[in-house]
Structure 1
Amino acid sequence: MTGFNDQVISEFRQNKGKLGGMFEGWRLILLTTTGAKSGERRTNPLGYLEIDGKTVVVASNMGAPRHPGWYHNIRHDHRVTIETGTESYEAIAAIPPAAERDTLFAKVVAEDPGFAEYQAKTTRELPVVILHRIDDRVRGMGHFLVEVHEWLREELKTVRAGVEDLVAGRADSLTLEKSLRAHCVSFCEALTKHHTGEDMGAFPMLAQRFPALAPVLAKLGEDHVVVATSQKRIRELVEGYVHGESDPIRLRDDFDELAGKLEAHFAYEERTVVTALNVTAHG
């Protein structure tokens, strides 16, 4: 099959996506994935459908008892390259949850009954995969997450400035302490709400659709626990601060430790899940 695939791929690229012989009239794309074991790039010609504005492929393997290799690959790395014959673009491959998969497969069969025949040949459920084009112009949940992070970063700066004022003994200490407590409460509540929303909503949704993100999401969840512990200590220090008795330098050092952990967490999250969140919102 490797030699046959290579021949099809070569003809596809030479003729801008048009093929003759047994594939004449077929709608094909070239899907390039990263090998789950080898780490090497693998290209497969695949039939595809456009359903509800989505590019959809089915891991049918012509009804064979095992999933095709490319499907195993996207479960380990959802980043793929698509060639249509006239263009090449980067995409990410999403695996829809059960109910959505069933609805999509019914639409697939309505357009191409051959997939029902493939399903009838095997006891495995044929996976349906949505290929989301990565488009930086599209604004979605990922961009919203970055905007929330930016707001939290600004709030963090405000609280940090108030802590520095306490250390330096600037202005009226009672007014400063009251203002610092208010900002700290606002920041801590917003951060807790943000992380709870991710743990309960965004992360489980991403885990379903992008199995390759499992280690990333596990790390982000662990970060939330670490940040919550630091955040609790900071809030206790701020709310229990007494001018002339409490140590402002300890407060500043603890706060800087939290800020460092939080910025590392935000940066990692933005590198790893923003694109998946954006395409999911528009898919």
Structure 2
Amino acid sequence: MDLDLLEEKLVSSIGKSVTSISQPTLDALKKAKEKEEGSARVQLEAMLEAVEVGERDKVPVCQDTGIPTFFIKIGKSFPQIDEITELESVLEDAVERATEEVPLRPNTVHPITEQNPGNNIGKHIPYIEWSFCEGDDVDIFYLPKGGGSENMCQLNMMTPGKGLQGVKEIVLERIASMGGKPCPPAVIGVGLGGGSNIAMNLAKEAILRPVGKTHEEEISKLETELREKANELGVGPMGVGGKTTVLDVHIKYAHRHPASYPVGIVVQCWANRRGHVTINSNGSVEVVY
């Protein structure tokens, strides 16, 4: 595994993730603009203009380039599995380089001293979530999560007896109460079940799924229902009112304890930024988006 090449590709992907947005998200924003009028349409036009400027001038679409989080999916048959432990230092070096070269806004602040190291590196930052899966490749997903949308995330320990109706009420009430704070139209990740930490991790991972791609199981019906009802709330782009409050709702779940029903809600802003790099089994490295 060529670690120098991997670092170069990661820096490129990080830069791309904050200076452009994924095609499914862009298509959804354009489609939303055609539905809106008045102030809602103006807000969406401003978002699309920011995307044009970002891609043209290679500058961040939003000044808040987020806290760096990586989700790493390791294929169990990856031939260089013994080198995986070296990834952490490569990821840190890539984030530090991208902070200077893109540039990214330095967003890591010590919770006690308030000191900012200036390079987006800190205790547990970048945060890395590791997991194994079938296959022989390694997929590295980068999630630059801004503070405004992160502040709207919420964990609910729901009474199990409320069931799916309770889940719907919690999610929709949260979306309605947020108003324009998370810079909607948002992408909503929902984590159901597991423990409290599992539900929130699942919700954050759920927003990595492309806009418009539903869950492969029956739970996709719940995603569709929540998206439609959320867009009937009238919050609209940036909270000015309108038909488009969310671009999508994505759900992941885990089995839970009979006495506990965690509902994690993670909110992503309209830009829905992410990066994706694949290390192929033959050692080549590809920037997917």
TM-score range, shorter chain: under 0.3
Give the structure with higher Rg (CA).
1
Provide the TM-score with structure 1 as the length reference: 0.23
Considering fraction of residues, name the structure with more strand.
2
